[in-house]
Homo-oligomer: A and B are copies of this chain.
């Protein structure tokens, strides 16, 4: 087997974790000695052991402690991300590797986290371990693209999800929107929530729809954070958003004390500056360690994110229905002066989902 084959095996292992590592990246590790895999493992869920540790454990279990340690010495370690050099929920992986002393370490990419970024590699090299970075780098980054985006840009990747009719409406004038899109499309939204660390809505949507914003279709070990943007004065303690024991954040121009809404310990408050409040929000969310946010509505919120150029991806579910001129527009953006000025997005993918079509728009 070639280096790329071992790395691909490590990537495929990493993917087994699905979405359970968020906001950590998915990482896989394969340890090789004399062209044979002697141990492999992956980071299974947030807070759990890292990939390198699980691969070593796997080796020791397979060969017993004594033989295992002998094999691990001078081995080749393939890991999809640079071993961490900092203590987080678990000890730094560089320490763990120095204990077994492999001959070579192959990383698909450096860790984009500025606290690590290259330091893990440096520490290993200092101890005489040969380190090579870059094997299947693209694939490894793609697998954790929200994580890489967040560390590169110091803000979460923002997905805006809009379920609209083909005439661009999201609800009747009376606010009714059940159900514009098909059951399958709504199932698909669950998948979007699963890959997101937080789901954001406007306070109008909170009050009108009383949504739960949870993941229902699969068992998850942690629900995405709910973020409500705008005036939450009318929020009530018994709203669905407070179910599921998940974190809820109210973000607006008020002080926590002004709102006086300490409904649960899970409720936090972010006070925004009046100017550039969306930019301010994304910055202030950094302490919650979110790789990505899913923006779910309503119209005013969609319009704000897109007009401020803060929607990194827009996912449209379009149903072949017409709601007519008196219904609520999905968007009410300012019109450009010329059509040439409007080309910010491209259609990245399309897919039929039940009776509707899903269009994923990405920045051009």
B327 touches A322 (CB 8 A): no
Complex interface: stretch among A24-32, A163-171, A210-218: A163-171
- The answer to whether A323 has its CB under 8 Å from any CB of chain B is yes
Among the listed B322, B339, B344, B352, which residue makes an inter-chain contact with A306, where contact means beta carbons less than 8 Å apart?
A: B322
- 22 examples of A-B residue contacts, CB within 8 angstroms: A165-B342, A167-B330, A172-B338, A176-B339, A179-B339, A318-B318, A320-B343, A320-B359, A320-B361, A322-B336, A322-B342, A323-B335, A323-B339, A324-B334, A324-B335, A325-B329, A325-B334, A325-B335, A326-B334, A347-B355, A347-B356, A357-B359
Contacts A176-B339, A325-B329, A335-B325; A167 near B168 (Cβ below 8 A): yes
| Residues in B whose Cβ lies below 8 Å from that of A306 | 322
Q: Could you tell me which residues of chain A, from 300 to 355, have a CB within 8 Å of some CB in chain B? A: 306, 316, 318, 320-327, 329-336, 338-339, 342-347, 350, 352, 355
A40 to B225, CA, bound (A): 70
Closest 3 CB pairs of A and B: A168-B168, A324-B335, A326-B335
Q: Contact at B350–A352, with CB atoms within 8 Å?
A: yes
State the CA gap A112–B222 with chains docked (Å): 63
Partner of A338 from B166, B176, B334, B356 at Cβ < 8 Å: B176
* CB of A207, distance to nearest CB on chain B (Å): 21
CB neighbours (8 Å) of A323 from chain B are: 335-336, 339, 342
By size class, the interface of chain A is 35 or more
**Residues on the B chain within 8 Å of A327, using CB:** 335
A320 in contact with B345 (CB, 8 Å): yes
With a CB–CB cut-off of 8 A, which chain B residues contact A178?
339
Minimum CB–CB distance for A92 against chain B, Å: 44
Given A342-B323, A350-B357, A355-B347 in contact, is the A335-B172 Cβ separation under 8 Å? Answer: yes
Residue A67 at the B interface, CB < 8 A?
Answer: no
Bound-complex Cα distance A236 to B247 (A)? 68
Point out the residue from B177, B325, B356, B359 that lies within 8 Å of A166, measured CB to CB.
Answer: B359
Across the interface, name the chain B residue whose C-beta is closest to A327.
Answer: B335
Among A166, A179, A346, A356, the most chain B Cβ lie within 10 Å of the Cβ of A166
A180 CB–B CB distance under 8 Å: yes
Decide if A173 is an interface residue (CB 8 Å cutoff): yes
